[in-house]
Structure 1
C-alpha cells in the first residue's frame, strides 16, 4: 500500500453521526479500494468503529468534552506523524479539531469552513446547507473532490455485530432465542422534545408482550427513569437494559431483535445499520436532516406547523408533535403477531 492511500478521519462525537459516517468510509473504499482508513474520535464511539469493517484502526482521543487543550492536542498530533497519513478528513467544524491533523503534518487536510481554521485546514470547502441538507451528505462530500457530484444512491451504513458476544448476552440475560424480540429505544440524549411519551412506549410493549414477544428496553443510565416508568406500566415484563450494557453490548443485543421502535437518537441509526425493521419517531427534529439510512425504515412524523423547532424542550409547553402521535398509529406498522413467527 502506498502512503497516498492512508487517511485519518477526525470523527464526530455523537453515536448517530458516527453511524452516518460509515457511508463516507464505504465510499472511500469504493473509490480507493487500497486505502487505509483510521478514525480518531472520543472513546465512547470506538465500539461502533470496531463493527465497521472499513476501519483499519480506531484512535481514542483523550481530550475532555468542551476543553480546548491546545497544547495537549498539538502533542497528540505530533505523536501521529510517524503514521505517514497523507490526507485528513475533518467531520467536525471546530477550531480545536483542526489542530491535531495540522500538528501531525498531514499534507492534505479537508474540512468545511469553520471556526477560524484558515491554514489549519488547507482543503477548505464551503458548506451549502441548502444543497447539502442531510448530515450524511455533508460527510460524503468531504470524501469527494470538489468537482464531483454526490452519487444519487449513497452507501448504506452496515454494522457487523459480534455474533459470539450476542450469543453470550442472550444467555446472560436469560432471553429465549425461540421467541421474537422487540427493541424499544425510548431515550434521546438531546432532550425531552425528541422523546415519545413513556406511556406510549408502554402501550406498544404491552401489545407485544401479550402477543408472545420479548421486549428489550435500550438506553444509557440517563434513560433509566424512562425505562423504569415503562417497566412499571408493563408489570416489570420487559428486559430493562438502561445503563446495564456497554454500547458494544447494546449493538450486539439489538442484532437479535426482529423489530425496533426508536426516537430520533443514536440507537435509531444503529438499528437501521443493523438492517432491523425500524419505526423511527420524530418530534422536534427533522427527518429530512438525519433520517435513518435504511430504505425500509418507517418514519413517524406529524409535521405540525410548529415542527421542526429543534428545541430540547417544547417551547409551547404541549409537545403535540409527539403526544398527538398515538400508539394506535404506530402499531400497525410493526405487525406484532404471534403467527408471523410460528415454527
Structure 2
C-alpha cells in the first residue's frame, strides 16, 4: 500500500485548491494512504476532505527557518515510511522536512534553488498551467505528461450536528434566508470591495427579505463594523467571532455568498454555494472559484490585474467603480440559473 506525504500551502484558499490534487492521487493509486502536513489554522479544512487520511501540523510559520526543529520533525516522520512527498509551496524551507525524513521520491517545482532537496524538481511553465489549481494537480502526474482535464472540483464535507452547534453557540437563526458577505482578503486592500458598497447591497437585500451575515478574521472586524453601520440593521458581523470550523458550517447555510477573491471565497465554492466573486487587483484567470455555481465580476480595466497589495495609481477604480447594483443583478442572474428564488422576488 503506497503512502504519500503532501506539504500543503499556508493559505486557506490554496488549501482548498489543493484538494483536486488529493482526489487525483486517490483515483490513480489504489489503496493510497495520503497524509498532509499543513499549518494549524488550515487543518479544519483538511479534516473535511475525504481524500485526506491523516493530518500533521506544520509548526513553522512564514520566515521561520528553525533548522534544528525541522530536522527533528523530519527524523520523526522518517519512521512513517513514506514512499513519496509532494511539496506544494515553492520555498526552500518547505522542502527541508521531506529531505530530512529521507523520503525517497520528493516532487515539486524548482522554486528557491532547491534542486538538491527534490528528487523530481520540475520547471513550471505558467503559460501551459495558468491556474493555481492546475499547478498543484500536475504534480500527481509523471514528469512531462499533459495535465488530464477536467479537474475535479473541491468539495468540503459538513456535519449537520456541528452546523447546528455553530448556530446555537452564536445565537443565530434562519428565520429569513441568509446571504453571506466575505469582505476581507488577506493579501491587501486592493482586493477588497469597499465597505460602503457592501453596506448598500445589504440594505437592498434587507428590502427583499434577506438577512446578511459577515464572515472573516479579526482583521476584517473593522470593515464589518463599517458595513453594519451603513446597512440599516440588516447585518450580523461575525468577523473575528467564528472559528474557521464554524465559518465553514455557517457558510454552508447561505442562500448565496458575495466575496472578494479570498480564502473564504474558495471555501464557499467548495461548499457548492451560489457565489458572486468580486475581482479587482487579482485575476480570475489565476485563482477562479472552482465551481459552476459562480458569477465572476471584474471591470477588466487596463490597469488590472496589477497583483498589488494597494492600488499603485491611488484611485482604486477596479473596485470603487464596481457598483452594488451590478452585484445585485449578478446575484439575481445566478439564483435564477441555479433554481433559487432571486433577490428581487
The TM-score bracket by the shorter chain reads over 0.9
Residue 19 (structure 2) pairs with residue 25 (structure 1): no
Aligned to 1:104: 101
Residue 272 of structure 2 contacts residue 293 of structure 2 at CA under 8 Å; is this kept in 1?
Answer: no
Equivalence map 1:1-343=2 (5 Å): 2=1, 5-335=2-332
Q: 1:145: how far off? A: 0.6
Output the CA distance in 1 between the equivalents of 2:119 and 2:112.
Answer: 14
Q: 1:340: how far off? A: 5.7
Residue 7 of structure 2 contacts residue 86 of structure 2 at CA under 8 Å; is this kept in 1?
Answer: yes
Residue 331 of structure 2 contacts residue 342 of structure 2 at CA under 8 Å; is this kept in 1?
Answer: no
- Cα deviations across residues 162-186 of structure 1 (Å, max 9, x unaligned)? 2211111222333333421100000
- Please identify, of 170-179 and 13-22, the stretch whose mean Cα deviation from structure 2 is larger: 170-179
Output the CA distance in 2 between the equivalents of 1:221 and 1:280.
Answer: 21
Output the CA distance in 1 between the equivalents of 2:169 and 2:97.
Answer: 41
Output the CA distance in 1 between the equivalents of 2:26 and 2:107.
Answer: 17
Q: 1:68: how far off? A: 1.1
Give 3-state SS (helix, strand or coil) of 2:75's partner. helix
Aligned alpha-carbon RMSD (Å): 1.5
Give 3-state SS (helix, strand or coil) of 2:79's partner. helix
Q: 1:69: how far off? A: 1.3
- Cα deviations across residues 131-188 of structure 1 (Å, max 9, x unaligned)? 1111101001111111322122111000011221111122233333342110000011
- Please identify, of 273-282 and 330-339, the stretch whose mean Cα deviation from structure 2 is larger: 330-339
TM-score, with normalisation over the residues of structure 2?
A: 0.95
Output the CA distance in 2 between the equivalents of 1:37 and 1:209.
Answer: 45
Residue 167 of structure 2 contacts residue 173 of structure 2 at CA under 8 Å; is this kept in 1?
Answer: yes
- Cα deviations across residues 253-305 of structure 1 (Å, max 9, x unaligned)? 10111100000000000000000000000000011000000022110011100
- Cα deviations across residues 111-133 of structure 1 (Å, max 9, x unaligned)? 10121212210111111111111
Output the CA distance in 1 between the equivalents of 2:166 and 2:64.
Answer: 36
Output the CA distance in 2 between the equivalents of 1:325 and 1:116.
Answer: 41
Output the CA distance in 2 between the equivalents of 1:296 and 1:244.
Answer: 27
Give 3-state SS (helix, strand or coil) of 2:42's partner. helix
Q: Which runs of 5+ in 2 are unaligned?
A: none
Give 3-state SS (helix, strand or coil) of 2:167's partner. helix
